[in-house]
Amino acid sequence: MLDSIDDIVDIHFQATDGFPLHGKLFLPNGEPTHHVMIGGAVAVPQKVYRHIAAYLASRGAAVLTYDYRGIGVSQADDLKTLDAPIQYWATRDFAAAIDWMNDRFPDKKLKLLCHSFGGQALGLSDRNNRFSKVAMVAVLAGYWGNMDWPESWRLYVSMQVFAPLAALGYGYMPARITGFGEDMANSTFLKWAEWCKMPNYLFDDPTISDSLHFEEFAGDILSIRLTDDKWGTRKAVDRMVDHYSKATITKREITPASIGVNKIGHFGFFRPDFRETLWTDAADWLFAE
């Protein structure tokens, strides 16, 4: 796959409040025919998306991956003192990544491949009209009650009881103890946990009402739900995606059996095993004019 792309460039840019962020730009051979940004899930480092980024570049796209503040190579000096409620990842980091792509490729319409929180960041960004098409993978409203039993109660106990206690003890949210992606600042994790106990998820948070821009996006959305994703129930997915009320939305449900495998889950879509199936279908949609 890497033989068919031109280069992978380390990039550095600042969030809208000056926080230093780091990413990679995957470049195709020749002039890019598409310009894609990848918006990642909560506490999932950009390296998880490197294979699909290289695949999209092999099909002619310039592709940006990056890490939110406090995650991956966009680490903070001290997670214990980092003030970074999760909405900053959208309103300050995601926004700055869009600006970087616009500066690097002026006058080019962008496309977005997003995973879980990345599809929430789109709706929390006042720049979302810069995308023409968005492929959403497992983008959902994370209220624990949207999940089926027993996963709903497992998630509730883990996120609302066990993980906060671990965060209190360590001074940050320790991933090796809680299993939630990478280590996170308490300010990041606790705001996310707060959303996850609200029936309407982030839409019930009065502190971010000025950051809700879901109804401003009027492009095309492909929402991909993996049926064996315990978090991504139909209810959870619909209660997030349907907030994009002005978008043209195509909803696609994929069972593991339909592509001849036993499991996909919340994270599996991005495994290289699915290059000729899930990736091809998503890229065909994203790149179609």
Query: For residue 5, which of 73, 49, 40, 52 has the smallest C-alpha distance?
Result: 52
116: containing domain: 2-142+208-287
pLDDT at 205: 98
Angle between helices 186-196 and 163-170 (to 10 degrees): 160
Whether pLDDT at 103 is above 70? yes
Whether pLDDT at 200 is above 90? yes
Structure confidence at residue 34 as a pLDDT band (50, 70, 90): very high
Tracing tokens 């991504």 back to the chain, one arrives at: 232
Q: How many domains does the chain have?
A: 1
Domain CATH for 19 = 3.40.50.1820
Query: Is 169 inside a domain boundary?
Result: no
pLDDT at 197: 97
Query: Is 175 inside a domain boundary?
Result: no
pLDDT at 5: 61
Q: What is the DSSP string of 22-76?
A: EEEEEEESSS-SEEEEEE--TT--GGGGHHHHHHHHHTTEEEEEE--TTSTTS--
Region 145-173: what's the mean pLDDT? 95
**Is pLDDT larger for residue 227 or for residue 289?**
227
User: In whole angstroms, how far apart are CA 218 and each of 91, 93, 107, 122?
Assistant: 19, 22, 18, 12
Query: Is 262 inside a domain boundary?
Result: yes
What does pTM read for this prediction? 0.95
Query: Is 102 inside a domain boundary?
Result: yes
pLDDT at 179: 81
pLDDT at 177: 85
- What is the rounded distance in angstroms from the CA atom of residue 141 to the CA atom of residue 93? 20
Region 60-88: what's the mean pLDDT? 96
Q: Is 220 within 8 Å of 280 (Cβ atoms)? A: no
Region 191-198: what's the mean pLDDT? 97
Q: What is the mean pLDDT of the chain?
A: 96
Tracing tokens 């300050």 back to the chain, one arrives at: 92
For the chain, percent of residues with pLDDT exceeding 90: 94
